[in-house]
Amino acid sequence: MTLLSIDELKNLIANSQAPCVSLYMPMQKAGPEIRQNPIRFKNLVREAEERLQALEIPAEEIENLLQPAKELDEAEFWENQDHGLAIFISPQVFRYYSLPIECQELVVVSHQFHFKPLLHLINSDGKFYILALSQKDLKFFEGTRSGITEVEVENMPKTLDEALQYDETDKEGQFRIATSKGSNNNPFTRSQPGAFHGQGSPDRDQHQEAILQFFHAVDTALHEKLREQKAPLILAGVEYLHPIYREANKYPHLLEEGITKRQEVFQADELHAQAWEIVAPLFHQSEQEAIELFQQLEGEETGTASSDIKEIVSAAYYQRVDSLIVPVGQQIWGTFDPDTMAVDLHPEPQPEDGDILDLAAIHTLLNGGTVYAVEPEQMPDGKPVAAIFRY
């Protein structure tokens, strides 16, 4: 199953076509209540069908649109779920995600997908990386609050042997430097052209130098992949490898704290849990700083902070929102016309309505802003929404 991320949401937005159906449901994981999952699911699909009928969409189109969701309703599907489930359906898209948190039961049918329940899982500040160090099986992961997934990095060697091409037939134990895959350039900046000569296993210093050369090649490949990124990078692996990699590292967002354990014995869930424990305080600090800045700017009446949803929606659409703070589990229903800048709000959702908070959040993310989805009680001064403008 695809890992939730800002890039994944952008992909969904780019490929969506009305009508867009968004389904959210909490999952029972144990006990007799687990039998309620398929029943609740059928009720949500039926509600989506009724919403589509209200839009006067032909019955055959509705059936074709919802058929992939109905086909999920099998015993094996329900046996492999977490605390929540999100499903997105449109004429061009069918995706579903197992969520590590419970979510409010919700059906939204609109001209775009509804993402706000997911934002506190995939906050644009919520991405991080893990480099699991090993001489025999180095791995790179991308993570969010919800989990980690292994990512292939072009030209990155995964083993010491691959990077240095150890010649086992040479009695003196020479290390011969290899050329990076797909490149004619030597990736090792510290070495002279030719071969790195050492005495092999009897000499610990020589072996550490070989590992350093390996890590220079890894860092060179990562530098290309992470060139524009600001997400924190965490090292994982046996302790003695950490300082060697730090000597080779050029990525400015490598964290001081790492995970010291053999990479080979890590389970993905355990690795994610330990990494999230390290990065979570950083993200919480960023969220708190945004709340405090909003309160300061609103108090100064500078015009660079607002809690007016109508003003915020148009500002988000026209790339003015730098930071947006929205409450999870709450919606403001209405429509937005970008041509006239008109925002119409309704106490109850109408057939053409979407969640205006969600609309503001999506456009903030697409335009390079940051969205903080917080619990309602954490909203600054009890505001329904809060935004900090770029100008």
- What are the DSSP calls for 9-24, one per residue? HHHHHHT--SSEEEEE
- The pair of structure tokens assigned to 320 is 């003015």
Q: Residue 1 domain-assigned? A: no
| Strand partners of residue 345 | 334
What's the pLDDT score for residue 274?
94
Q: Are residues 362 and 239 in the same domain?
A: no
Tokens of 391: 């100008």
Tokens of 69: 């969701």
Task: Give the residue carrying structure tokens 């898209």.
Answer: 93
Asked which of 266, 300, 330 is the last residue of a domain, the reply is: 266
pLDDT at 189: 41
User: What is the number of residues in the chain?
Assistant: 391
- Name the one residue in this structure whose structure tokens are 């948190």: 101
User: Is the Cβ–Cβ distance between 93 and 117 less than 8 Å?
Assistant: no
**Residue 277 domain flag:** no
| pLDDT at res. 182 | 42
Residue 250's Cβ-side half-sphere holds a number of Cα atoms within 13 Å equal to 15
Return the pLDDT at 169.
Answer: 37
Whether residues 179 and 239 share a domain: the answer is yes
Looking from the CA of 386 toward its CB, the CA atoms found within 13 Å total 25
pLDDT at 346: 92
Q: What pLDDT was estimated at residue 256? A: 96
pLDDT at 283: 81
> Which of 164, 145, 374, 382 is CA-nearest to residue 282?
145
**Number of Cβ within a 10 Å radius of residue 3:** 18
> Do residues 133 and 261 both lie within one domain?
yes
Structural domain that includes position 250: 128-266
Domain's final residue, options 118, 140, 161: 118
Show which of 64, 90, 118 is a domain's final residue: 118
Report yes or no: 138 and 131 within 8 Å, Cβ to Cβ.
Answer: yes
Which residue, among 138, 82, 124, 132, has the nearest Cα to 274 in the 3D structure? 132
CA torsion sign for 50, 52, 53, 54 is positive
Radius of gyration of the chain (CA): 25
Q: Do 299 and 262 reside in the same domain of the chain? A: no
- From CA 119, how far away is CA 361, in angstroms rounded? 9
Residues 103 and 225 placed together within one structural domain of the fold: no
- Within this chain, do residues 24 and 100 fall inside the same structural domain, yes or no? yes
DSSP H or E run through 59: helix 59-70
Distant-in-sequence, close-in-space partners of 154: CB < 8 Å, separation ≥ 6: 182, 221, 224, 225
The answer to whether residue 288 is domain-embedded is yes
Average pLDDT by stretches of 10, the chain with 391 residues: 68 83 87 82 96 94 95 87 90 88 86 81 73 94 84 92 62 42 42 39 75 95 88 94 96 95 77 92 88 91 90 94 90 89 89 87 85 89 94 89
In a domain, 370, yes or no: yes
**Which residue's entry shows tokens 């500002």?**
315
Q: Quick check: pTM over 0.75? A: no
Say whether both 236 and 305 belong to one domain.
Answer: no
Contacts of 302 (CB under 8 A, 6+ apart): none
Coil, strand or helix: which one is 182?
coil
Say what the pLDDT of residue 203 is. Answer: 64
Q: What is the pLDDT of residue 57?
A: 94
> Rounded to an integer, what distance in angstroms lies between the CA atom of residue 253 and that of residue 255?
6
Same domain as 260, residue 192: yes
Considering the domain architecture, whether residues 135 and 262 belong to the same structural domain is answered as yes
Q: Residues 192-223, buried b or exposed e (16+ Cβ, 10 A)?
A: eeeebebebeeeeebbebbbbbbbbbbbbbbe
Q: Quote the CA–CA distance of 360 and 310 in Å, as a whole number.
A: 10
What's the confidence (pLDDT) of residue 389? 96
* Total domains, the chain: 3
What pLDDT sits at residue 186? 43
**H or E element at residue 66:** helix 59-70
CATH label of the domain that carries residue 113: 3.30.960
Residue 324 C-beta-side C-alpha neighbours within 13 Å: 38
Which two tokens mark 70?
């109905």
Nearest in space to 187 (alpha carbons), one of 224, 238, 151: 224
Q: Residues 229, 350: one domain?
A: no
CB 250, CB 223: distance < 8 Å? yes
